[in-house]
Amino acid sequence: MARERKLLGWIGVYALWSVLTLITLLPIYWLFVISARSRVELFSVGRFLQTSFYAQNYIEPLTNPVFQRYLANSLIVATANALLVAVLAVLATYALSRWRLGGADNIFFWTITNRMAPPAAFALPLFLLYTRIFRAGDWSLFDTRIGLILLYCVFNLPFAIWLMKGIIDGIPIELDEAAFVDGAGRATVLRRIIVPLAAPGIAVTVILSWIFAWNEYIFAASLTSVRARTITTGLAEFVTVTGTNWGEMAAVATISMLPALLFLVFVQRYIVMGLTFGAVKE
């Protein structure tokens, strides 16, 4: 009887997770269905399953130099931001965790509070900063890749520091002290001990920072115009005064999801390792 109840319990758990998975994947599937239909099919066919594929919805954006530039901008901005955030997070967290700075806990808490306000609250002040203050002659941070990279770094770095602190705290400080006894400096300890042992956590920091920057819309829409626009902001260009091109919009949205999805598929084991690193201590 106990085994039967346990079996029923497992069946219920799997059934619940199956339902939740279907609910999660349904919008993604429907997005693909819309991208695979022509305009005539989209407004005339009511079936749920898609049996045909209208490739023109994908060919038009992919062969358009404008959207190719948008895609390149997203890749460059997200990758540069992720690498910069990872480097700064490791350095900052090592200092907060190992240097016994006065008020280190207060500094750490203050850093985290920078993520508590909604991003929309900073849109107007940042727009004024980028267009009026951070300006020298004809040059400004507005509508530049470096402007987006630095801005995303400001918003992603607090999260990265919060993530890395638990990981570096989980590395025994005795390893540092043993290296100091052998004559190693702080730079050597950081390079030879901290970074290799915290590699799973660093990988998670890079992955999540990359995804956050890739998916960001509010700042990319308000702080870019033509040259530095990203693929997420390009979706709005399918909404025109003559109507909305739903098929191509869905196709571009599907394309924009693929890099992040493939990224997660190939590195998901590092995410599990990084998030559980240091969680159990003796």
Using DSSP's 3-state secondary structure scheme, residue 243 falls into: strand
Q: Which 3 state secondary structure label does DSSP give 189?
A: helix
Domain that holds residue 242: 60-276
Looking at the chain, how many residues does it have?
A: 282
Instruction: Give dist(CA 223, CA 76) in Å, integer.
Output: 16
pLDDT at 280: 46
| Residue at 138 is within a domain | yes
241: in domain: yes
Asked if residue 281 belongs to a domain, the reply is no
- Whole-number pLDDT of residue 156: 93
Count the Cβ atoms, other than its own, within 10 Å of residue 197. Answer: 18
End of a domain among 32, 54, 76?
54
Q: Do residues 201 and 271 share a domain?
A: yes
- Which residues are within 8 A (CB) of 216 and not within 5 positions of it... i.e. 6 or more apart? 152, 230, 232
**Residue 144 sits in the same domain as residue 259:** yes
Instruction: Write the CA distances from 230 to 20, 42, 119, 148, integer angstroms.
Output: 31, 27, 17, 10
| Whether residue 93 is found in the same domain as residue 189 | yes
244 Cβ contact partners less than 8 Å away, ≥ 6 residues apart: 238
Does 149 map to a domain? yes
Q: Which of 34, 54, 74 is the last residue of a domain?
A: 54
Average pLDDT across each block of 10 residues of the chain; the chain has 282 residues. List them in order.
79 91 91 90 78 90 91 94 95 85 75 81 90 80 93 92 86 88 88 89 88 92 91 87 87 88 72 56 46
Helices (H), 63-132: 65-98, 104-113, 123-128
pLDDT at 203: 85
In a domain, 187, yes or no: yes
| pLDDT value, residue 49 | 81
Q: Does residue 257 share a domain with residue 161?
A: yes
pLDDT at 281: 47
- For the chain, the 3-state helix, strand and coil shares in percent, each to the nearest 5, are 75, 5, 20
> Is 282 inside a domain boundary?
no
Q: Are residue 29 and residue 145 in the same domain, yes or no?
A: no
Same domain, 79 and 140: yes
Provide the number of structural domains found in the chain. 2
Q: Domain of 161: which CATH number?
A: 1.10.3720.10
- Rg of the chain over Cα atoms, rounded to whole angstroms, equals 24
Q: Identify whether 227 is part of a domain.
A: yes
With beta carbons less than 8 A apart as the criterion, state whether 231 and 64 touch: no
Other Cβ atoms closer than 10 A to 279: 9
* 49 & 65 share domain: no
Assigned domain for 119 exists: yes
As a whole number of angstroms, the distance between CA 216 and CA 137 comes to: 29
Q: Are 174 and 184 in contact (CB under 8 A)?
A: no
Same domain, 196 and 67: yes
Q: What is the pLDDT of residue 170?
A: 84
In this structure, the answer to whether residues 264 and 240 fall within a common structural domain is: yes
Same domain, 38 and 108: no
Is 111 found in the same domain as 46?
A: no
| CA pair distance 131, 133, nearest whole angstrom | 6
Q: Is-contact 145 77, C-beta < 8 A? A: yes
Same domain, 46 and 92: no
Is 121 within 8 Å of 192 (Cβ atoms)? no
With a CB cutoff of 8 Å and minimum separation 6, the contacts of 46 are: none
Helices H / strands E in the chain, number of each: 14, 4
Structure tokens, 232: 């997420």
